[in-house]
Structure 1
Amino acid sequence: FSDRTLDIRGDAYGYSEGEGVSTDFGATLNLPITDTLAFRASVDQLNDQGFIDMPYLVREIGVSDPNPDFSDPADVAANLYRKDDVNTEDVTSGRAAVRWNPSDWFDATLSYNFQDADVGGRQVSGRRATNFPVPVGDYEAIQRVEEPNKRETDLWALEGVVDLGFAELTSATGYSTFKEDGQRDQSDLLYSLEYSYEAFPSFTAYTQELEDDETFTQELRLTSKPSDSPFSWIVGGFYSKTDFWASSAEYTPHIDEYFGGSRPDALEYYAVDYGTSEETAFFGEVTWQFTPAFQITGGARHYTYDLEAYSAVDLPLFESVFNGRDPDSIVLDFGESTDSDDGWLYKLNASYKFSDDLMMYATISDGFRTGGSNGAGPCPPDFEPDGSSPTQIVCALPNELIYGSETTRNYEIGVKSQWLDNRLTFNAAVFFIEWSDPQVASATVYGLQPITKNADGAETKGVELSYNFQITDNWLVRGSYSYAEATLTETTVNLVPYLQDPCPTDENGDPIGKINYCTAFEDGQPGDRLPGSPKSQFSFYTEYDLPLSNGWDVNFSYSLSSITDVLSRTGGRGDSITLPGFTLSNIAVRLTNPGSDWTVTGYVDNLFDTFAETGVRGSRGNNRFILGDENGDPVYPRSVFTNVIPPRVIGVRFTKAFGL
């Protein structure tokens, strides 16, 4: 309320694998209006130049051949083009807040946050596509179309605190909106459905993904104030409501003409999903300070969760070309799916201070995560998967429409300590988590749409260690280590999809079944490791401050982080890809002039230019297939790619503070 300040910041950096200079500039203004009213605002602009190249983009979708003779440069140039550094980011973000503190007993802040992001493409690598006819670089994506994405996020928040004397009443209200508009190459998914799309030599498919969500939240908390009483407490309530809407449209230009029909908009698939989810909770917690050294805390939370979702899928091109529907018709027959849950979550914590520098604690607590809609249209009531139904269908079975909530029971025992006159902090904990109905990734049986489903049970157990050591006044080191084993504890039927090789046929060589006959599912088994996270993680950081004779300070820092391998699918099943572990190093040198309120930092992230993958789409089975078009020419699926971290980054950032 007293200082008028303007802080500016900037960052300029470049990637070892990209061209151009990326920038990130921002400013923060703090402006007291009166002794009780103040305004603060900040704005930032990121312009990231990217580093992923796309060498094999189709010149004209549905006309150009996405699989030319790759040994003939002229044929490649006639059908494909290259675009470098596609994963650009143009992000504008900001925050404005007004704080009003008219008295000792009332304080309120109204704030608005926004972010508008325009992303040029995904940060992925196609180097694991071993069935592709030419080598693929580490930072090359081999999708056929560009994959831009736009996201808009707005958040209004109002928080107020009232001092009631015996307690503080806090109200936190939030309203947010989220909009997204994205495009993806969808050719490989349609190849995998076995509907002979690959027979059309110029076949390329792309999507438009739209999303529009609104969320309202309200929380009230009443918290006791410090007093001579051995008891302290908190009670409150929480409410959240989200209205969601999403659509997915797939376009296959000119394949209607290839099949001898007409669908001018080329709309091959259209799905809409909308609905509402609500959560209400009431909670309370009491702490009893038995002695200055020993305390125990108990708490409970009652929650109620309701989901109502509507979804529908249409195959407009198929219906227009083969079943005689109008060439511009879209028919959506919405199916309703609901889910609800309610229950109690509990917490019990006890701690004992052996001294001012040593404390041990134990906690038992429950966790809860809501379910949701998978956004997949329901299979029609007369659907017969034995082959009597139409062979082209994308739908969700009743147990695939939604996924339920998951709960956990968490056990943790730990110690927190300080040594050497508080210069060394060392903390350690062991934990065990029991999961009920854990949410895991899967796919629909018909159409292979990505979905989330509930497994029957899982558990996680591990240990966490951390330290912070101020070796001298100028030299600091800190680090952490964690080990966690996360596994299924119960069999989960039809969890992991995979491609059979060879595809099953009868004695006449005809497919067994008419829908996705090459696709099968594996059950998740007890002991199967869960995907997506490493067993071990390690981090280390050190910095040294060097005062200069002219009053300036130089700070040298080095950080290291390391993880072990990660599975892409539960238990390594379904031709899972195991992503290897990796280690990253960063260095920085910061120059500070305390009297002038500025800093300049030179830095290098990913010092040794390590290539590292953090996620994967597809499986090793996808690499076994090379298809053929009607001319007998090869068609190369490109469904295997990985998410990657940035290569080496070299940059300079600065900050400067001004008094106004």
Structure 2
Amino acid sequence: MTTLISTRQRTRLLGATALGSALLIAAGGGTAWAQGTASGGPAVEELVVTALKRSTVLQDTPIAISAVTGETLAKMGVDNIGDYAKAVPGLTLVDGGPGARRVVIRGIQGAGEAQVGIYYDETPVGGSPGTTSDSGARSPDLKLFDVQQVEVLRGPQGTLYGSGSMGGTVRVIFRKPGYENEGAFEGNVFSTNGGGMGYEANAMVNLPLVEDKLAARAVVFYREVDGYVDNNVLGLKNLNDETTWAGRLLVRYEPTENLTIDAAAFVQRTDAVAQSVSVKSGDYVSTSRAQLPLYDDYNIYSLTARWDLGWAALTGVTSKYSRSQLQTSDVSNFIGNFRNNPGLCASRNGGVPCGPAEFATFNAYVNTHTPSTLHQPQDVDTWTNELRLSSTAEGPLNWTVGLFSEDRDAFIVSQQQGVDPVTGIAYSPARISTVRTIDDSLKQTAAFGEGSYEITDKLTLTAGARYFKYEKKIVGQTFVGLDLIGARVTPPTTVSSKEDGWVFKFNASYDVNDDIMVYAQASEGFRPGGANQVIGLPGALTPYDSDSLVNYELGAKTAWWSNRLTLNFDVYQIDWDNMQVSGRTANGAFSFISNAGAARVKGAEIEAVLNPMQGLQLQANANFSDAKLVEDQVNPDVNAPGRKGDRIPFIPKVTTGLAAQYTWPLTDGLDGLARLDANYVGTSYSEFRPTNAFRQKVSSYTLANVRVGVEAKDWGAYVYVNNITDELAYVTKNQSAISAGTINGVTVRPRTVGVTFNKKF
């Protein structure tokens, strides 16, 4: 058995919690300085969350958690996770375009398995590991409509949510079927500056089938968007278009008062074109020599049963999640750079140095493999199960215990194939340069428990633990080799890795008065290790270990002026050990994962909601983060490793979000609405080392969206402008050996103007 943190760290963890508990107890002498009355707007809405796998009031939940209601998501015009990230402190994306987004919380960012758990209702969903064992870079992004709320748990959630929740957990909770006839429709038409038109239609119908026993809720979604990126090599305009359709069916059956059974099916289909741009070639311009289509298809099926035993609730969940995805990338310039390579030419010339005639022959050979793309279809199927028992009886003790299992299988094909130099479209029949396949399986089991006890009516202590065990197996095979990149034909080769261990959580909370709660927490997070299929390295297949972290946190949740203002804040330190980091083979052709170094993230978060007067609500959030290495990344397998003091890539020091919404009566039954959302993202960098030749600066940016409209009880009409200032904002930039001198980037969509109409039935 492996223990994920050292004895020294465990002592520090316990010590920090004890110190925090002492501080909380000492706070009992404070006065009720948040209490009082004031004239003005209504109290801030009280939200119930299920983050602890039982229902609690948001302001009474002693962890760093943000919740955004479905109503607020609609007012913001949210379409996906990137849209609501601005409303949550510390939540950012490393955005590689559709199907290639990494979700980051509190600066915990790196290659490998996901570091943020993504849940749709009770189902955890993830990405394919691909050829780089980097499933975290392909976080699912399901469209959001008819959502009850989104909950974001910041900091490691290793005890209740397990692996993949090192940085935190995002939970999207859909509205469930009810026993009344209900329907809704939403239509959206918009135009993007420098691009084309977009259209979106959403609909929902809720039908009671058997009175108070059986009901169904169906949702459909369709979105078609013209692009805004032009390719000046192939002469294409607005090439990064996207078409997505989705459907969701939920059925609720309540055979008795104490038993609820929910069945759900969710499908989504996306066809799009990769949207990266060439930074040095002009605004929103691509110099790719190939068209880069992608598709991303999801299927989620789940069955959840909840049985109220009176003294506890028994919940069983089984889910089947599958995802089929095509990723393509242009490798034309990378292959083309092998022209006139003396070493490769001599190798093909029997070891004899090349003269002009031999170079001409060699270059002609290189030309047969370019222009070309990496064409990588990949499928992942995951079956998860969870059985848990949670206390429901009143009393000082609250607890949850459970069992969890996951069985994930992925199959990836990676082939280099030629494209027509005029159209950029892949030849048919395909002209293949290399082909390799990867079978990747991950099996996890866990037992977990968490309990809290009210020592007094003010002081509550919580402890949690999770025992985990995983095994990962990789089978790799190369069918067609290419000597230019060192790809050799290899038979099926298998490597596996496995590990087990424990993670823990300790929390102490103290109610200073009815309006102020302070808490201290120490918690652990982890994610599995695994194995790479790496061509060109000795052994070809290379295992790597799990990495883990410990989070120390102090926070407060406060309410002021009769709950017209809620103000929550926390400070934290995260120690991250045995980091999983990405490296490349010496020729730059293949990426892999290894372990090296340690990091520390120190930060502070704040979020506030204020209702100063009737109809006006103001919201603000901010995250201040210092995420750096505290140990050199010394590993002979990793090129250009980071050194102590280097910043973690793509992590800004400051992010902020502001929102203001005002509603006012126009006539009886008709209101006006105006809303402003703005966010600031600070500067970050693409690599650890300032001296790394590939390091790119991702400059800070500020974005603002505005929406105005009229709304009645059952309908609303709005005009909106996103990215009001039409800022050219890069969310990521990167350069590597594969890009062969080109700096690629992904941008925020330029100024977009649209109209939305919704109707409830």
What is the CA deviation profile of residues 325-361 of structure 1, one whole-angstrom value per residue up to 9, with x for unaligned ones? xxxxx94412222121211100000000111111100
Is 1:580 the counterpart of 2:687 in the alignment? no
Q: 2:550 aligns with which of 388, 399, 409?
A: 409
Q: 2:320 aligns with which of 145, 155, 175?
A: 175
Measure how far apart 1:574 and its partner are.
1.6
| d(CA) in 1 for partners of 2:233, 2:329 | 15
Which residue is 1:632 aligned to?
A: none
Q: Does the CA contact (< 8 Å) of 2:319 and 2:383 recur in 1?
A: yes
Which residue is 1:106 aligned to?
A: 259
Q: Does the CA contact (< 8 Å) of 1:346 and 1:366 recur in 2?
A: yes
Which residue is 2:500 aligned to?
A: 342
| d(CA) in 1 for partners of 2:245, 2:697 | 36
Q: 1:231 aligns with which of 397, 403, 418?
A: 397
Measure how far apart 1:184 and its partner are.
2.4
Is 1:153 the counterpart of 2:329 in the alignment? no
Measure how far apart 1:396 and its partner are.
3.6
Using a 3 Å threshold, how does the CA distance of structure 1 residues 433 and 495 change in structure 2: closer, same or farther?
Answer: farther
Measure how far apart 1:454 and its partner are.
2.2
Structure 2 counterparts to residues 21-60 of structure 1, below 5 A: 21-35=197-211, 36-57=213-234
Residue 188 of structure 1 aligns to a residue in which SS? helix
Which residue is 1:385 aligned to?
A: none
What is the CA deviation profile of residues 248-297 of structure 1, one whole-angstrom value per residue up to 9, with x for unaligned ones? 10024799xxxxxxxx9642222211131011110111111111211000
- Which stretches in structure 2 are left out of the alignment for 5+ residues? 1-177, 346-361, 422-428
User: Relative contact order: is structure 1 or structure 2 higher (C-alpha 8 Å, sep ≥ 6)?
Assistant: 2
| d(CA) in 2 for partners of 1:400, 1:583 | 44
Letter in 2 for 1:39: A
What is the CA deviation profile of residues 43-86 of structure 1, one whole-angstrom value per residue up to 9, with x for unaligned ones? 101101111111212xxxxxxxxxxxxxxxxxxxxxxxx11111
Q: Does the CA contact (< 8 Å) of 1:254 and 1:266 recur in 2?
A: no
| d(CA) in 2 for partners of 1:268, 1:89 | 29
Structure 2 counterparts to residues 143-542 of structure 1, below 5 A: 143-191=288-336, 195=344, 203-227=370-394, 229-252=395-418, 266-316=431-481, 318=483, 331-377=489-535, 395-398=536-539, 401-493=542-634, 521-542=639-660
| d(CA) in 1 for partners of 2:522, 2:420 | 60
Q: Does the CA contact (< 8 Å) of 1:313 and 1:333 recur in 2?
A: yes
Which residue is 1:557 aligned to?
A: 675
| d(CA) in 1 for partners of 2:363, 2:572 | 51
Q: Does the CA contact (< 8 Å) of 1:221 and 1:237 recur in 2?
A: yes
Is 1:92 the counterpart of 2:245 in the alignment? yes
> Highest Rg: 1 or 2?
1
| d(CA) in 1 for partners of 2:363, 2:189 | 45
Q: 1:137 aligns with which of 282, 285, 295?
A: 282
Moved more, 233-242 or 484-493: 484-493
Which residue is 2:355 aligned to?
A: none
| d(CA) in 2 for partners of 1:607, 1:476 | 21
TM-score, normalization by structure 2: 0.69
Measure how far apart 1:371 and its partner are.
2.8
Q: Does the CA contact (< 8 Å) of 2:516 and 2:556 recur in 1?
A: yes
Which residue is 1:569 aligned to?
A: 687
| d(CA) in 1 for partners of 2:577, 2:686 | 22
Q: Does the CA contact (< 8 Å) of 1:430 and 1:462 recur in 2?
A: yes
Q: Does the CA contact (< 8 Å) of 1:189 and 1:639 recur in 2?
A: no
Residue 329 of structure 2 aligns to a residue in which SS? coil
Which residue is 1:644 aligned to?
A: 747
Using a 3 Å threshold, how does the CA distance of structure 1 residues 269 and 447 change in structure 2: closer, same or farther?
Answer: farther
Using a 3 Å threshold, how does the CA distance of structure 1 residues 301 and 102 change in structure 2: closer, same or farther?
Answer: same
| d(CA) in 2 for partners of 1:473, 1:48 | 38
RMSD of aligned residue pairs (Cα, Å): 2.5
What is the CA deviation profile of residues 16-49 of structure 1, one whole-angstrom value per residue up to 9, with x for unaligned ones? 0102x20110111101000200011101011011
% of aligned pairs identical? Answer: 28
Which residue is 2:41 aligned to?
A: none
Q: Does the CA contact (< 8 Å) of 2:290 and 2:419 recur in 1?
A: no
What is the CA deviation profile of residues 158-199 of structure 1, one whole-angstrom value per residue up to 9, with x for unaligned ones? 110011222110011110111112332111332456557866
What is the CA deviation profile of residues 355-392 of structure 1, one whole-angstrom value per residue up to 9, with x for unaligned ones? 11111000101111223444434xxxxxxxxxxxxxxx
Q: Does the CA contact (< 8 Å) of 1:53 and 1:84 recur in 2?
A: yes
Using a 3 Å threshold, how does the CA distance of structure 1 residues 474 and 495 change in structure 2: closer, same or farther?
Answer: farther
What is the CA deviation profile of residues 115-152 of structure 1, one whole-angstrom value per residue up to 9, with x for unaligned ones? 11101x22222133xxxxxxx22111110010000121
Q: 1:607 aligns with which of 724, 740, 761?
A: 724
Measure how far apart 1:101 and its partner are.
0.8
Q: 1:17 aligns with which of 181, 194, 206?
A: 194
| d(CA) in 2 for partners of 1:253, 1:546 | 58
Using a 3 Å threshold, how does the CA distance of structure 1 residues 396 and 657 change in structure 2: closer, same or farther?
Answer: farther
Measure how far apart 1:206 and its partner are.
1.7
Residue 56 of structure 1 aligns to a residue in which SS? coil
| d(CA) in 2 for partners of 1:401, 1:169 | 42
TM-score, normalization by structure 1: 0.80
- Which stretches in structure 1 are left out of the alignment for 5+ residues? 58-81, 129-135, 256-263, 324-329, 378-394, 498-520, 624-636
| d(CA) in 1 for partners of 2:698, 2:327 | 27
Structure with the larger helix share: 2
Residue 522 of structure 1 aligns to a residue in which SS? coil
Residue 189 of structure 1 aligns to a residue in which SS? helix
